[in-house]
Homo-oligomer: A and B are copies of this chain.
Amino acid sequence: MAKHRPTIADVALAAGVSKGLVSFALNDRPGVSAMTRERILAAADELGWRPSLRARSLSTDRAFALGLVIARDPQIIAADPFFPALIAGIETALAPVGQALVLSMVVSEQAELASYRQLAAHDRVDGVIITDLRQDDPRLALALELGLQAVTLGHPDAPSPFPAVALDDDPGIRSTVDHLVGLGHRRIAHVAGPARMLHGSRRRNSFASALELRGLHGDLIVETDFSASDGARATAELLALADPPTAIVYSNDPMAIAGMGVAQRAGLHIPDDLSITGFDDSDVGQYLNPSLTTVTTAAQEWGRTAASALLRLIEGDDVADIELAPARLVIRGSSASPPPRTPATAR
């Protein structure tokens, strides 16, 4: 004799009213007398009734869930502190209101779009948080086509139908460059993320323009896929130059850590021979030798804000773009003045 969980009909029976009225009472709708409402809520409470999300979903055409699709190689995500923090932030916004996060992690861009289509086809989510914006990002049009609400993490490079929740990287990069130039560096390189990714190219642009503002060349840039191994490769390339940089600004921490290792193995002393800075402020950074100068971003806050903005959007509210506190430089041990003289006859 399995004891079924109580339904709205049980509550209605117990309270001596109709199903419909229970629904009204539950949803705080007018047309229920205060006394009856009390009685209904008491009965519901007594029976331990929780409305079935499935039934609600079917009749109201809502999923009560948000989607997040991450399209990166697991190895890259693994090293990146950004996503866990983002997800934790999203969770803090969703849990209190009974919403859920549907997560999809895919490798190719192909699979990514398919993943959005599947989320929509199955009505899994009411909206999606679009992260890792790319140039001319196809996901905006896709979300629109699929009837999904969305917020973007950062501003797209074209007019967007969706609100953006943005955290400006520029001040982080800019103050990193200023910090290095202030230390006396003149030849500074940047190990960038993929140019197709907007935050990759924006950090690159910030880097270049910050250097040019100081009258220096901002063209020593190597593009990578954000992976530690590609960061290592980029570092090796830079150090092999006839006139190698005295400082390298990495666009994430894992690459900076890998780069530090590569430089050290090449016999360089960090930071005396080479300054290194990261981006994202991973936990390990502060325990490295030397500790890592990096840029910190409030990823968790970003997730929380994006999720709650998306919820409001789904509710039908108007949501304007939101700017969060910008990225901020954290100076630690991996950056110092450059070696006194750069021998012209490097090899």
A261 close to B (CB within 8 Å): yes
Which residues from chain B contact A257 at a C-beta distance below 8 Å? 257, 284, 287-288
Bound-state CA distance A106–B94 (Å) is 11
Least CB distance, A258 to chain B, in whole angstroms: 4
A103 close to B (CB within 8 Å): yes
Bound-state CA distance A74–B282 (Å) is 11
Least CB distance, A298 to chain B, in whole angstroms: 12
Q: Which size bracket describes the interface of A in this complex?
A: 35 or more
Given the interface pairs A84-B74, A101-B102, the reply to whether A227 lies near B58 with Cβ below 8 Å is: no
Interface of chain A, helix or strand or loop or mixed? helix
Which residues from chain B contact A113 at a C-beta distance below 8 Å? none
Task: List CB contacts (< 8 Å) of A255-285 with chain B.
Answer: 257-262, 264-265, 282-284
When the two chains form their complex, are residues A91 and B104 in contact, meaning their CB atoms are under 8 A apart? Answer: yes
A121 close to B (CB within 8 Å): yes
- A 244-261 to B, binary, CB cutoff 8 A, 1 in contact else 0: 000000000010011111
Contact with A85, one of B53, B78, B264 (Cβ below 8 angstroms): B78
Nearest to A114 among chain B residues (CB) is B95
- A 136-168 to B, binary, CB cutoff 8 A, 1 in contact else 0: 000000000000000000000000000000000
Given the interface pairs A78-B283, A287-B229, A287-B258, the reply to whether A58 lies near B50 with Cβ below 8 Å is: no
**Quick one: which of A58, A228, A259, A289 has the most chain B CB within 10 A?**
A289
Contact with A84, one of B55, B83, B284 (Cβ below 8 angstroms): B83
Least CB distance, A280 to chain B, in whole angstroms: 9
A75 close to B (CB within 8 Å): yes
- A 224-248 to B, binary, CB cutoff 8 A, 1 in contact else 0: 0001110110000000000000000
Bound-state CA distance A202–B233 (Å) is 37
Which 7 residue pairs of A and B lie closest in terms of their CB atoms, listed nearest first?
Answer: A78-B81, A258-B287, A264-B289, A74-B88, A77-B84, A261-B289, A103-B103
Beyond contacts A100-B102, A102-B102, A227-B283: 10 other A-B pairs, Cβ-Cβ < 8 A, are A50-B122, A79-B283, A88-B107, A95-B106, A101-B104, A229-B286, A231-B287, A232-B287, A258-B288, A261-B284
Give 24 pairs: A residue, B residue, CB < 8 Å, sorted on A. A50-B122, A53-B124, A65-B124, A76-B283, A78-B80, A78-B81, A78-B82, A78-B83, A78-B84, A78-B282, A83-B84, A88-B105, A91-B105, A100-B122, A100-B124, A101-B102, A227-B283, A257-B284, A257-B288, A258-B287, A259-B287, A261-B284, A262-B287, A264-B289
Chain A positions near chain B (C-beta within 8 angstroms): 50, 52-55, 57-58, 63-65, 74-85, 87-88, 91, 95, 98, 100-107, 111, 115, 118-119, 121-124, 227-229, 231-232, 254, 257-262, 264-265, 282-284, 286-291, 300
